[in-house]
Structure 1
Amino acid sequence: MVRFAVLAVTAVAALAVLVLAARWLIGLPPVARFVAEHPGQAPLPPSVPVGIPAWLGWQHFFNAFLMLLIVRTGWQVRTTTRPTASWTRKNTGLLRTKGQPKKISLELWFHLSLDALWVLNGLVFAILLFVTGQWMRIVPTSWEIVPHAASALLQYAALEWPLENGWVSYNALQVLAYFVTVFIAAPLSVLTGVRMSNAWPKGPDGINRLFPIELARRLHFPVMIYFVAFTAVHVFLVFATGALRNLNHMYAPSDDDEWLGFAFFSASLVVMIAAWFLARPLFLRPIAALMGKVGR
């Protein structure tokens, strides 16, 4: 408890120093001119769509729902020394293999099942993203994004939010963050997860030497930490920069200050909290038994 208190005080002190330093920097004439010339909005392609479609809002909820449980089960897999139960897949049909299928923990089965749903949801998201042109909102198309992102970062650090309208476009720092999350962190988490699973081909071939399982294990957990940090910052900024309008963008979808988005967001929180508490062996065993054998 004392250690946690020391860490909390240290973090608050470091954050205060960061804010003061950023506010001092932004007050310097050369820095002020830089921010004025690069306010944080990088130029976008002329055909970029305006607005956030309903499917993107639903994808946002599904992704948050699955990620919450994936992080929970991933942590359980990493820290559990005595699994509550085991699961063995059925060795029938297309899944039939030589020898007895490997037994895994119930926690790992649930983690892998959630991963499969998350990947499927991600594929649907990627297809719709490119079909509808929404990709132009989160993919950098000009090097101008670099100075604009630096300016936006400095403004955030100084607690002077960059002028923006997420309904029309994201600021440059948001674009880079979304791009890294969707096109780098997500594929990396899938690749490292598959590398650690039984689905990866065994043997001392070239691909296993180039991408050893030890490297996958070293990368997989930090990627999870990145997702947690990204989510924490994302949620904080949603509420700090105009909660009602931002929630309407993501959940309604509309560009106003009504309470519909907040209502949908609250309902989604109830669903996620319920799923968190229901994700227990008592409820998971019957579901896992439909796909394989559950034992001790």
Structure 2
Amino acid sequence: MVEAAAPAASVVETVAETEPPATASAPAVVASPAPSAPAPVARPAAVEKPVKPKPEARLYRSRTLGQWIKRVVLLAVGAIAAAAILILAARGVTTLPGVPEFLERYPGEYHLPATAEPGFPWWAQWTHFLNFFLIVLIIRSGYQVRTQQKPPAFWTPKRGGKKISINLWLHQSLDILWLANGLIFVVLLFASGHWMRIVPTSWEVFPNALSALLQYMTLDWPVENGWVNYNSLQQLMYFLVVFIAAPLAAITGVRMSEFWPKNAKTLNRIYPVEAARALHFPTMLFFVLFILIHVFLVFSTGALRNLNHMFGGTDVVNWVGFWLFAAAIAITAAAWYAARPIVLAPIAKLFGQVSSR
């Protein structure tokens, strides 16, 4: 029995030798597994929305609409301020010594010769309407010619010649009609004796014109009686328009047109085209300014009576002249709208060839 227990004892000893003895001071610690960090939650990737480019502001002659509005407002405010300063200055001038006596001596007009007839004959009414109608279209077509980049169509004369834009053809055609109308007006003006209405017959026209200008500037306007006599400032302005500005526009326009001889070296050296261009556009601006002031004074100094003078041919106050004037405006506006290549091309073909290139 004792011998049978020996192998078991040896096995126990062998196992004890292979295991490290436990120390009494440090009890055995069973290591627990470290807590694992929570796994990151996968988030869906953010979808970036495409950034829409801001639409570019539409330009009107190198400026946006907002810039033009700002510019117009600033110009209007500046014009009002300048006008207020001029009015105050003019009123101050009338208080200076000698000025009241000057205004009394020269009221703004002088008496015409006894042979001058009052009123406006029928031919003056018609030439006045045609002048207004044609000059508005001339200004429009001239501005188109000056600013056009790519003409919508071209015109070539039947007898041969340089090809020009259809806008230039319209401008030159209107010029010819305008000159013909002006020539008829001047001939009838001197044939009838009505030339004394717009041609000064006395040196008193100058001091009276200065008096009328001062009265306009103070807003104490001279008395209007255009049926009988214009004030001296009006007379000088009408003389300037008919006998200076109109011929100047014609002479400079002909120099730049296709009718001018290109091979006349001496003539071209004496009258260079650069000089014509330098004068032609300011002359057009003068006509624009004159029309604006003229229309303003017509309506602010007795609209019905003034419109009856030139459209109704009477010195009464009624609505006949006004409605005739309204009809003239409607006809001019319709012609302004109709002055397009689709309408101009059939007319231009009667005098030459029209092409797109």
Query: Quick one: distance in 1 between partners of 2:320 and 2:91?
Result: 36
Question: What's 1:36 paired with?
Answer: 104
Q: CA deviation at 1:4?
A: 2.2
Q: CA deviation at 1:207?
A: 2.8
Residue 251 (str. 1) matches residue 326 (str. 2): no
Which range is displaced more, 68-77 or 50-59? 50-59
Query: Quick one: distance in 2 between partners of 1:236 and 1:209?
Result: 42
Question: What's 1:179 paired with?
Answer: 239
Read off the aligned partner of 1:281 and give its amino acid letter: P
Residue 53 (str. 1) matches residue 121 (str. 2): yes
- Does the 8 A contact of 2:212 with 2:233 survive in 1? yes
- Of 207, 218, 243, 2:267 maps to 207
- Of 177, 184, 189, 2:249 maps to 189
Query: Quick one: distance in 2 between partners of 1:71 and 1:46?
Result: 39
Residue 222 (str. 1) matches residue 282 (str. 2): yes
Query: Quick one: distance in 2 between partners of 1:259 and 1:163?
Result: 22
1:77-108 Cα shifts (integer Å, max 9, x gaps) = 000010000000101xxxxxxxx511000000
Query: Quick one: distance in 2 between partners of 1:265 and 1:101?
Result: 40
Question: What's 1:84 paired with?
Answer: 152
Share of identical aligned residues, percent? 56
- Does the 8 A contact of 1:247 with 1:262 survive in 2? yes
Residue 14 (str. 1) matches residue 74 (str. 2): no
TM-score, with length taken from structure 1: 0.95
1:138-191 Cα shifts (integer Å, max 9, x gaps) = 001111111000000000111111123100010000000000000000000000
Q: How many residues align?
A: 288
Name the SS of the counterpart of 1:294 in structure 2: strand
Give runs of ≥4 in structure 1 deviating > 4 Å. Answer: none
Q: CA deviation at 1:200?
A: 1.4
Question: What's 2:350 paired with?
Answer: 290
RMSD: 1.1
Name the SS of the counterpart of 2:116 in structure 1: coil
Question: What's 2:214 paired with?
Answer: 154
Which range is displaced more, 28-37 or 228-237? 28-37
Read off the aligned partner of 1:59 and give its amino acid letter: T
Q: CA deviation at 1:27?
A: 3.3
Name the SS of the counterpart of 1:178 in structure 2: helix
Name the SS of the counterpart of 1:88 in structure 2: strand
Query: Quick one: distance in 2 between partners of 1:192 and 1:218?
Result: 9
Q: CA deviation at 1:29?
A: 4.5
- Does the 8 A contact of 1:43 with 1:142 survive in 2? no
Which residues of structure 2 form unaligned runs of 5+?
A: 1-68
Query: Quick one: distance in 1 between partners of 2:80 and 2:266?
Result: 48
Q: CA deviation at 1:22?
A: 1.2
- Of 194, 197, 201, 1:141 maps to 201
Residue 170 (str. 1) matches residue 170 (str. 2): no
- Does the 8 A contact of 1:86 with 1:295 survive in 2? yes
Question: What's 1:267 paired with?
Answer: 327
1:88-138 Cα shifts (integer Å, max 9, x gaps) = 0101xxxxxxxx511000000000110111011011101110101111100
TM-score, with length taken from structure 2: 0.79
Question: What's 2:299 paired with?
Answer: 239
1:187-242 Cα shifts (integer Å, max 9, x gaps) = 00000000111211223543322211100000000000000000000000000000
Query: Quick one: distance in 1 between partners of 2:287 and 2:117?
Result: 27
Higher relative contact order (CA 8 A, sep 6+): 1
Query: Quick one: distance in 2 between partners of 1:164 and 1:72?
Result: 32
Which range is displaced more, 28-37 or 275-284? 28-37
Q: CA deviation at 1:57?
A: 0.9
Read off the aligned partner of 2:91 and give its amino acid letter: R
- Does the 8 A contact of 2:224 with 2:301 survive in 1? no
Query: Which has the greater radius of gyration?
Result: 2
Which residues of structure 1 form unaligned runs of 5+?
A: 92-99
Read off the aligned partner of 2:328 and give its amino acid letter: S
Name the SS of the counterpart of 1:293 in structure 2: strand
Query: Quick one: distance in 1 between partners of 2:266 and 2:218?
Result: 49
Query: Quick one: distance in 2 between partners of 1:179 and 1:66?
Result: 19
- Does the 8 A contact of 1:54 with 1:252 survive in 2? no
Read off the aligned partner of 1:267 and give its amino acid letter: A
Query: Quick one: distance in 2 between partners of 1:105 and 1:46?
Result: 52
Residue 129 (str. 1) matches residue 189 (str. 2): yes
Which range is displaced more, 119-128 or 40-49? 40-49
